[in-house]
Structure 1
Amino acid sequence: MNFRDLVSGVAWNGLLHLGQRRRYARATWLFHQGESPDFVIALVNGIVKITQVAEGGAEVPLALRGKGEVLGEIGALLDKPRSASVKAVSECIGIVLPAHAFRGYVDRHGLNPVIYRLAIQRMHDNEQLRTALTRLPPQARVARVIRYLAVEIGERADGGVITLQLGMSRDELAAMASMSRSSAMAVLRALHDAHVLELGRGRLVIRDSLALAELCED
């Protein structure tokens, strides 16, 4: 579920006409944590990675987002500094509009409840994931994280195959699962050997969604 899923076609198209089209090369930063929320980006193509700097200074991956997402909207509505950074995982196309234009758009279309619902849903999903990671064994942790990412950016094909353009290192994937890199890689290799997953450079393919779902409930 993203912003595009929750608004009408008229509302979405209206948003796209408010800003300027911009192309972002892979690995380009769209904005950084702590910056002023001067603009909002409506993502019309591509995948981005949301990261946050932890207390120790390490960059922690939080989520991946795809087309139909609106980026930087909470900061723009609250007029607060950016709470996270956003980086292009693939080549992306976004519509960039000033924060004041976005606020006016939200008011005209009565979208405050929609944005609130989306924010609360994502907080709930993240809390559920974090809670699960504290009690599940390694294989189930990795499975939960992969399923979480698949919901956001998975590209579905015939036969239930789902492709994820990850754009993150194995270290980052392990960090999302609250595991060491070696432990996460051992699980990924086991799932690959069991034909549940197929590992590739910068991507991951779910070959057996049912088996992955069963592992999530371990």
Structure 2
Amino acid sequence: MDYQTASSALKSSFLFSSISDQDLADLLARAEEKQFVQGEYFFWEGGAPDNFFLLISGRVKVIKHGSQGRETAVAFFSPGEIFGEVAVLEDKPYPASAVALETSAALSINRQAFRDFVRRHPEVTLAMIGILSGRLREAQSRLHDLAGERVEQRLSRTLYRLYSKLGPELPFTRQDLADMSGTTLETTVRYLSRLKQEGIITSKRGLVVIGDGPKLAVLAEG
């Protein structure tokens, strides 16, 4: 493990930002750095929650698997963010799968080691509550969008939310974007074509590139 890189990743995480260097060193001694290639899974839906992860580099997509094998993207994570922690805290199977969108590195933290650490550092519990509350607010916002906004605005909001979190290159198919926006593939294809004609995006198979973030923000706000 590159100790300096791993330590910097922990310090940049909101969850561990208030922890002393000595306590971070103690946690690092219990953690393991793992490398993942594009398309490799960190964990699978329904698997035993042995570890959660703090992303050091790369990008991660969390997906739910449908009854007929269809996948739906439900969350995305960038360096400094944690994922898989809810299953670890509840000691219940992972509710979704996590896959690397590109070559990625992450700290894997064992369930028991983390529970022991939290018992000694209640401030980490408060930080965890803050993280989960933020995710709940985001989920509520997405539900509001699905219930009340026009299809075009929902698609624009989905694109802008992903752009704000992951940067201009979005490695998603048109079906991914349709699923995340609660609309059909045909509608998504038509709207992406319009955005392409207006110079807001460019696209190719499995990738959408945001070329004009300010214009997209205006569309997302309606």
**TM-score (norm: length of structure 2):** 0.83
Match of 2:178 in 1: 174
What does the per-residue CA deviation read over 1:127-168, in whole Å, with 9 as the maximum and x for residues that have no partner? 2112112222222111110122123222xxxxxxxx1342x3
Match of 1:98 in 2: 110
Out of 62, 68, 84, the residue aligned to residue 72 of structure 1 is: 84
For 1:35 and 1:21, locate their aligned partners in 2 and report how far apart those are by CA, in whole Å: 20
Report whether the alignment pairs 1:147 with 2:149.
no
RMSD of the alignment, in Å?
2.2
Out of 37, 40, 47, the residue aligned to residue 35 of structure 1 is: 47
For 2:120 and 2:145, locate their aligned partners in 1 and report how far apart those are by CA, in whole Å: 40
Out of 133, 146, 151, the residue aligned to residue 133 of structure 1 is: 146
Report the AA paired with residue 213 of structure 1.
A
Query: In the TM superposition, what are the counterparts of 1:1-218 in structure 2 within 5 Å?
Result: 4-8=13-17, 14=25, 15-54=27-66, 58-109=70-121, 110-154=123-167, 163-166=168-171, 168-218=172-222
What's the % identity of the aligned pairs?
Answer: 26
Task: Give the structure with higher Rg (CA).
Answer: 2
**TM-score (norm: length of structure 1):** 0.85
Q: Any conservation in 2 of the 1:47–1:89 contact (CA below 8 Å)?
A: yes
- Identify if the C-alpha distance between structure 1 residues 215 and 116 changes in structure 2 by more than 3 Å, giving closer, same or farther: same
For 1:16 and 1:169, locate their aligned partners in 2 and report how far apart those are by CA, in whole Å: 37
For 2:137 and 2:146, locate their aligned partners in 1 and report how far apart those are by CA, in whole Å: 14
For 1:153 and 1:210, locate their aligned partners in 2 and report how far apart those are by CA, in whole Å: 16
Task: State the Cα distance separating 1:73 from its structure 2 match.
Answer: 0.9
For 2:195 and 2:20, locate their aligned partners in 1 and report how far apart those are by CA, in whole Å: 42
For 2:32 and 2:143, locate their aligned partners in 1 and report how far apart those are by CA, in whole Å: 37
Structure 1 unaligned spans of 5+: 155-162
Report the AA paired with residue 199 of structure 1.
S
The count of corresponding residues between Structure 1 and Structure 2 is: 207
For 1:165 and 1:23, locate their aligned partners in 2 and report how far apart those are by CA, in whole Å: 21
Report the AA paired with residue 191 of structure 2.
V
